[in-house]
Amino acid sequence: MTAERIEPVSTFGTSLFAEIQSSIGQQEKRQKVFKWIKVSSMAAAAMLTIAVGIGWYAQSMITITTDFAQQKQITLPDNSVITLNANSSIRYHRAWAWQSKREVWVSGEVFLNVKRLNKDPKHIQPMEEFRVHAGKMLVDVLGTEFNIKERRKQVQVALLKGKIRVQTENMSQAIIMKPGEIVRFNGTLQKQSLEQARSVPDAWLEGNMVVSGLTARQIIDNFEDTYGYTVILEDSTLASKQIDGTIAFNSEETILYTLSNILNVNIYKEGRNIYLRSR
């Protein structure tokens, strides 16, 4: 049987070329679609990352702490200067400029020199306000110097300059303070003068504790808060002994030596415990 050669029709080349062109066009379209999807996915991922980053920045806090026997001074974004005593901390929003008001949270003992922003005391803008959270007490201030001590479930605010309002967290009580006044909160707000307080609240900035009529127990409490020891006074009657004068508080050895002489006790250390035993 003889094979017969088949000749392509005259339109075959044209049709084949058209099919090839169509196939190439469809492939290019698919590539464009895939590329668009890839770019869109990358853009969405980038936007999500940015959104998460902004959310974290808006909600996160900066926390600064001090160890036992350490002090630290920091400057806030508004140029207010905060000094932290030993075993203390301060927190504030990382996105400081995004907040409706200046606001910090403190624990331990801090001294605040708040920068005054307002020029017209009668018309105060929200961003000119400064609020301090200390335990269950709120302190609102425009520009002043004051000391806050939040220890042993009690908050004490001592005002040296300016004018501030202190109130309970639930705002059931509020007191306007003037320079030379101290307000304590231990369930209720109580106000007294610096003379009645029996101590100089900011003496720790110079490494001292100036006392007048404070008991040995109160001084020991301050020592424990500052240096992290537990002090056992074996003769409990000595706890009520009143002490006057200036005690150098920048060295644990100096404080213990002072207590040893004032209370007539010997000192023994066992780990983080210190025993005061009558001679």
The mean per-residue pLDDT over the stretch 78-96 comes to 96
Q: How does pLDDT run across 122-142, given as a tens digit for each residue?
A: 566 777 889 999 999 999 987
DSSP lists the bridge partners of residue 214 as 243
Instruction: Compute, in degrees rounded to 10, the torsion defined by CA atoms 65, 82, 109, 103.
Output: -90
Do 216 and 240 meet the contact criterion of CB atoms below 8 Å apart?
A: yes
E strands in the chain: 61-65, 72-75, 81-84, 89-93, 102-113, 130-134, 137-141, 145-151, 154-161, 164-168, 174-177, 181-185, 189-193, 208-215, 230-233, 242-248, 265-270, 273-278
Give me the pLDDT at residue 25, please. Answer: 64
Mean pLDDT (the chain, rounded): 85
The mean per-residue pLDDT over the stretch 242-269 comes to 92
DSSP lists the bridge partners of residue 268 as 275
Give me the pLDDT at residue 120, please. Answer: 64
Task: Indicate the pLDDT class of residue 16, thresholds 50, 70 and 90.
Answer: low
Region of poorest pLDDT, from 21-35, 50-64, 199-213: 21-35
Region of poorest pLDDT, from 46-50, 135-139, 252-256: 46-50
Owner of token pair 């409490």: 221
Please determine, for residue 4, whether its predicted confidence score (pLDDT) is greater than 60: no
Answer with the residue of higher pLDDT: 118 or 245: 245
Please determine, for residue 7, whether its predicted confidence score (pLDDT) is greater than 80: no
Task: Indicate the pLDDT class of residue 279, thresholds 50, 70 and 90.
Answer: confident
Token pair for 132: 């301090």
CB atoms within 10 A of CB 267: 15
